[in-house]
């Protein structure tokens, strides 16, 4: 168990923007930081981090929490593991208890897989330096490839002895079960109790998560057996999915963010060699063709990718296949082809790191120019093939989201193909329209599926009413009209206009969440009748008014959040803060509270610098805002009672009861006028 004091030290030391910044490329915007959400695919950033409150919130998918919750969700850690991760990051000492054999057996499958993978990496790395065969076979191989001991240790490289059961027997003697060893892929079990090490006789390349946890391995054979596969990779498991993983991402993430560029290569050795040559922003796909999920992993740190492939036909074909995927994810793509027969590793060994870096900078070209040049080599004077090449190039350009960038590609392509720019623009327009139609159809299909599987929720700021789905077959000529007619109202504006009562409840809760502990001056009268000024927390003012007027929130979530504050005020306990809501087990309350704590909007400097319009801050008019919000909430409550009375009057047949209801109605109207007077609202 970790003591409360230690947990508090961890939370006090944690800077949430630093923690999340290791996984997501963040940019400062006002008091917050913003980036693309790591929990769902998005092209426009809607993921906000609030350093002052220590919380994050995605306005796209709804994910929210504090630094500990982020690590738990992103890395699939348990609560203690997330705390230990943060403690290690901020050099806070935690006394670890050694696990007994019984405790190991009680580990969940996922935890057990992480543990056995880390155990295997340490064992293989130890064999590389402290075993005679490990040094003679494994270490000598790495040294022959020109890798230094420093880079070997940086990537945790190792060696698995060429013995049938060496690793498995060692792991079993340390308490790891056959089931865990089999599910991790480290051991292959056969019938009649037979088993053997999957990676025997191979040098080992550990595959790390973005935070540095060992997920699996890639093992390269060193024997001359023709039947043996050159590389063997860990199978997919509960912790490892090769289509979602990039080799070297843990070692490269900081360099990628710093350089704002990622080099994408084909093999593990290429990655390690590039890092040793000083090109540390390099990764590779893990034993599979490049996938959309891997691209999105890169996109967390940069939208700029340079693809490095061998100069042979296979390398060129792989580059052409991979880059369309990159364009589809709105990446900016460039290509470097090495001379035929060379790859990043062999080039670095032959010419050294300085010449490698020079080659990368001088041979980089945008992908459209590269694709045009490569495809035209096979066309010669064949008009049919030239037409096919043109369509293929246009299909690629149509994937580029930036219209200025598309225009530049059209100019370059027209020059290379010696064609009219207008002809290419016409083809591009047709292709883009077809892509839009396909996209709209897919969106409509997904919306239809969602509508059939779940009820349509009441609009909130996190979930504005989407409106009717677009037609399945829109006419391309309608797109400009559709664009012009699209509403640009903010979600808060939509809510205020279409659901005024709910908007007012939300605003009250927002004041509690963001300014509840802030004190406002309040005039009081002592026993002698003298007036004096004191300070009262905003939460106390709001809670007292709502209790006194017996107001209930229509929105159940807002009522539940208010109840936390009511309990704290009545019992004179500390008010709930951001960390309180970030650690709530109730997902709906947590997400709603943290959404209202993070303001996704900032006031542009243009208002003051260019338009000379000074916009008052919320803090500067906080007293008036609280006063008006309470009065407006009272008005809405009175309006509701008046409507109920009108309904009763319409259906009442008893004269005495009718007289009583009329008198009550008159009283409410008078009360309503008194409430609205300070708000300068005319009641008809």
Going from N- to C-terminal start, the domains of the chain cover 4-89, 107-240, 252-431, 498-684
Whose structure tokens read 């006063």? 627
User: Which carries the bigger pLDDT value, residue 252 or residue 289?
Assistant: 252
Determine the pLDDT at residue 226. Answer: 63
656-672 average pLDDT score: 80
Tell me which range, 148-152, 345-349, 369-373, is most confidently predicted by mean pLDDT: 148-152
Give 188's strand partners: 196
Determine the pLDDT at residue 679. Answer: 62
Determine the pLDDT at residue 451. Answer: 53
CATH number of 252-431: 3.40.1360.10
pLDDT at 278 over 60: yes
541-556 average pLDDT score: 84
C-alpha triplet 75, 77, 82: angle, nearest 5° = 100
Determine the pLDDT at residue 616. Answer: 59
| DSSP string computed for 345-356 | HHHHHHHHHHHH
Q: Which pair of structure tokens corresponds to residue 400?
A: 């580029």
Percentages of the chain per state (helix, strand, coil), in multiples of 5: 55, 10, 30
211-237 average pLDDT score: 85
Alpha helix positions (H), 313-382: 313-328, 344-362, 367-376
Determine the pLDDT at residue 468. Answer: 36
Q: What is the DSSP letter of 528?
A: T
Determine the pLDDT at residue 459. Answer: 36
Determine the pLDDT at residue 461. Answer: 36
Spatial contact of 595 and 543, defined as CB atoms under 8 Å apart = no
What does the alpha-carbon distance between residue 62 and residue 46 come to, in Å, rounded to a whole number? 10
**Looking at the domain 4-89, which fold is it?**
DNA Primase; Chain A (3.90.580)
What does the alpha-carbon distance between residue 495 and residue 558 come to, in Å, rounded to a whole number? 15
Lowest mean pLDDT among 60-74, 182-196, 522-536: 522-536
Tell me which range, 361-370, 444-453, 475-484, 601-610, is most confidently predicted by mean pLDDT: 361-370
What does the alpha-carbon distance between residue 430 and residue 422 come to, in Å, rounded to a whole number? 12
When pLDDT is cut at 50, 70 and 90, the band that residue 140 belongs to is very high
| DSSP string computed for 553-568 | -SSHHHHHHHHHHHHH
Determine the pLDDT at residue 246. Answer: 93
When pLDDT is cut at 50, 70 and 90, the band that residue 260 belongs to is confident
Q: What is the DSSP letter of 242?
A: G
Determine the pLDDT at residue 525. Answer: 67
Best CA proximity match to 33, nearest among 463, 514, 591, 598: 598
pLDDT at 155 over 90: yes
CA dist 184 → 21, 162, 311, 660 (Å): 30, 19, 36, 77
Neighbours of 379 (CB within 10 A): 16
Q: What is the DSSP letter of 460?
A: B
Determine the pLDDT at residue 132. Answer: 94
User: Which carries the bigger pLDDT value, residue 342 or residue 280?
Assistant: 280
106-131 average pLDDT score: 88
Tell me which range, 138-152, 305-319, 391-405, is most confidently predicted by mean pLDDT: 138-152
**Between 538-548 and 622-651, two packed helices, what is the crossing angle to 10 degrees?**
10
C-alpha triplet 119, 109, 237: angle, nearest 5° = 80
Best CA proximity match to 79, nearest among 25, 176, 177, 10: 10
Determine the pLDDT at residue 214. Answer: 93
pLDDT at 318 over 90: no
The answer, as to whether pTM is greater than 0.85, is: no
pLDDT at 85 over 70: yes
Q: 448-465: per-residue pLDDT in tens?
A: 665 554 433 333 333 333
Q: Is the CA virtual torsion 648, 650, 655, 658 positive or negative?
A: positive
pLDDT at 100 over 80: no
Which residues, 6+ apart, have CB-to-CB distance to 604 below 8 Å? none
The distance from CA 165 to its chain's CA centroid, rounded to whole angstroms, is: 41
Whose structure tokens read 């208890």? 97
Lowest mean pLDDT among 143-147, 391-395, 482-486: 482-486
Q: Which pair of structure tokens corresponds to residue 9?
A: 């030290």
What does the alpha-carbon distance between residue 560 and residue 567 come to, in Å, rounded to a whole number? 11
Determine the pLDDT at residue 450. Answer: 52
**C-beta pairs of 552-561 under 8 Å, 24+ apart in sequence:** 553/505, 554/501, 554/502, 554/505, 555/502, 555/505, 555/506, 557/588, 557/589, 557/592, 558/505, 558/506, 558/508, 558/509, 558/592, 560/586, 560/589, 561/509, 561/512, 561/513, 561/589, 561/592, 561/593
Which strand (E) or helix (H) includes residue 387?
helix 383-397
Best CA proximity match to 217, nearest among 190, 197, 193, 195: 197
Q: Which pair of structure tokens corresponds to residue 659?
A: 């007289």
Determine the pLDDT at residue 498. Answer: 46
pLDDT at 341 over 80: no
Whose structure tokens read 């309470």? 630
Give the chain's radius of gyration (CA, Å).
Answer: 32
Determine the pLDDT at residue 138. Answer: 94
pLDDT at 601 over 70: no
522-544 average pLDDT score: 77
Lowest mean pLDDT among 107-111, 184-188, 237-241: 107-111
What does the alpha-carbon distance between residue 549 and residue 543 come to, in Å, rounded to a whole number? 10
pLDDT at 488 over 50: no
Determine the pLDDT at residue 456. Answer: 39
Determine the pLDDT at residue 625. Answer: 77
Determine the pLDDT at residue 402. Answer: 73
What does the alpha-carbon distance between residue 391 and residue 405 come to, in Å, rounded to a whole number? 18
Q: 405-445: per-residue pLDDT in tens?
A: 788 888 887 887 777 888 888 888 888 888 777 777 776 67
Q: Which pair of structure tokens corresponds to residue 406?
A: 């598309």
505-514 average pLDDT score: 86
User: Which carries the bigger pLDDT value, residue 589 or residue 443?
Assistant: 589
When pLDDT is cut at 50, 70 and 90, the band that residue 477 belongs to is very low
Determine the pLDDT at residue 404. Answer: 79
| Pairing, β 282-285 against β 262-265 | parallel
Q: Where are any strands of DSSP class E within 234-312?
A: 246-247, 262-265, 282-285, 304-309
CATH number of 107-240: 3.90.980.10
Q: Which pair of structure tokens corresponds to residue 479?
A: 């797109």
671-679 average pLDDT score: 73
| Pairing, β 262-265 against β 304-309 | parallel
Say if 107-240 and 252-431 have the same CATH topology: no
Spatial contact of 401 and 43, defined as CB atoms under 8 Å apart = yes
Rounded to a whole number of angstroms, the distance between the first and last alpha carbons of the chain is: 65
């Amino acid at each position: 168990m970790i003591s409360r004091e230690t947990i508090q030290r961890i939370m006090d030391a944690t800077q949430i923007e630093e923690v999340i910044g290791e996984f997501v490329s963040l940019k400062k915007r006002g008091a917050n930081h913003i980036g693309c959400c790591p929990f769902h695919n998005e092209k426009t950033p809607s993921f906000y981090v609030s350093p002052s409150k220590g919380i994050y919130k995605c306005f796209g998918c709804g994910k929210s929490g504090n630094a500990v919750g982020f690590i738990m969700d992103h890395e699939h850690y348990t609560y203690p593991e997330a705390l230990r991760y943060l403690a290690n990051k901020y050099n806070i000492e935690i006394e670890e208890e050694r696990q007994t054999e019984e405790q190991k057996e009680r580990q969940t499958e996922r935890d057990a897989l992480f543990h056995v993978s880390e155990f295997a990496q340490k064992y293989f790395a130890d064999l590389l330096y402290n075993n005679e065969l490990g040094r003679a076979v494994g270490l000598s191989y790495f040294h022959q490839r020109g890798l230094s001991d420093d880079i070997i240790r940086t990537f945790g490289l190792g060696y698995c002895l060429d013995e049938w059961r060496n690793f498995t027997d060692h792991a079993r003697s340390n308490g790891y079960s056959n089931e865990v060893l089999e599910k991790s892929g480290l051991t292959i079990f056969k019938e009649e109790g037979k088993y053997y090490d999957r990676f025997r006789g191979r040098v080992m390349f550990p595959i790390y998560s973005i935070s540095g946890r060992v997920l699996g391995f890639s093992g390269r054979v060193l024997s001359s057996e023709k039947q043996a596969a050159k590389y063997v990779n860990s199978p997919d498991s509960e912790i490892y999915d090769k289509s979602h993983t990039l080799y070297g991402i843990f070692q490269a993430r900081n360099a990628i963010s710093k350089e704002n560029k990622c080099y994408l290569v084909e093999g593990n050795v290429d990655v390690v060699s590039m890092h040793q040559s000083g090109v540390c922003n390099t990764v590779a796909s893990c034993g599979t063709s490049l996938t959309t999920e891997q691209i999105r992993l890169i996109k967390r740190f940069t939208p700029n990718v340079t693809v490095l492939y061998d100069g042979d036909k296979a390398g060129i074909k792989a580059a052409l296949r991979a880059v369309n995927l990159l364009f589809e994810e709105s990446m900016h793509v460039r290509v470097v082809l090495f001379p035929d027969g060379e790859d990043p590793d062999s080039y670095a060994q032959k010419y050294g790191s300085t010449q490698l870096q020079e080659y990368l900078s001088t041979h980089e070209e945008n992908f459209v120019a590269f694709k045009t040049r490569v495809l035209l080599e096979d066309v010669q004077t064949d008009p049919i093939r030239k037409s096919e090449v043109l369509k293929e190039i246009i299909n690629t350009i149509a994937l580029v989201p930036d219209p200025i960038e598309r225009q530049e590609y059209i100019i370059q392509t027209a020059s290379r193909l010696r064609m009219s720019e207008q002809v290419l623009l016409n083809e591009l327009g047709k292709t883009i329209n077809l892509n839009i139609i396909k996209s709209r159809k897919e969106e409509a299909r997904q919306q239809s599926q969602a509508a059939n599987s779940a009820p349509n929720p009441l609009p909130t700021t996190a979930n504005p009413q989407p409106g009717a789905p677009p037609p399945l077959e829109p006419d391309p000529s309608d797109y400009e009209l559709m664009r012009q007619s699209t509403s640009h109202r903010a979600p808060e504006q939509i809510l205020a206009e279409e659901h005024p009562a709910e908007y007012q409840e939300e605003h009250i809760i927002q004041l509690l969440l963001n300014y509840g502990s802030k004190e406002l001056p309040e005039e009081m009268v002592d026993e002698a009748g003298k007036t004096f000024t004191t300070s009262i927390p905003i939460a106390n003012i709001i809670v007292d008014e709502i209790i006194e007027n017996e107001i209930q929130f229509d929105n159940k979530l807002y009522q539940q959040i208010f109840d936390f504050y009511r309990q704290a005020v009545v019992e004179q306990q500390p008010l709930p803060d951001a960390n309180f809501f970030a650690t709530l087990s109730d997902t709906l309350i947590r997400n709603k509270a943290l959404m209202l704590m993070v303001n996704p909007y900032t006031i542009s400097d243009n208002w003051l610098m260019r338009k000379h319009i000074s916009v008052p801050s919320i803090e500067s008019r906080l007293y008036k805002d609280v006063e008006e919000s309470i009065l407006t909430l009272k008005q809405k409550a009175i309006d509701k009672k008046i409507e109920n009375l009108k309904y009763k009057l319409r259906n009442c047949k008893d004269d005495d009861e009718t007289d009583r209801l009329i008198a009550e109605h008159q009283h409410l109207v008078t009360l309503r006028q008194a409430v609205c007077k300070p708000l300068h609202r005319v009641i008809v």
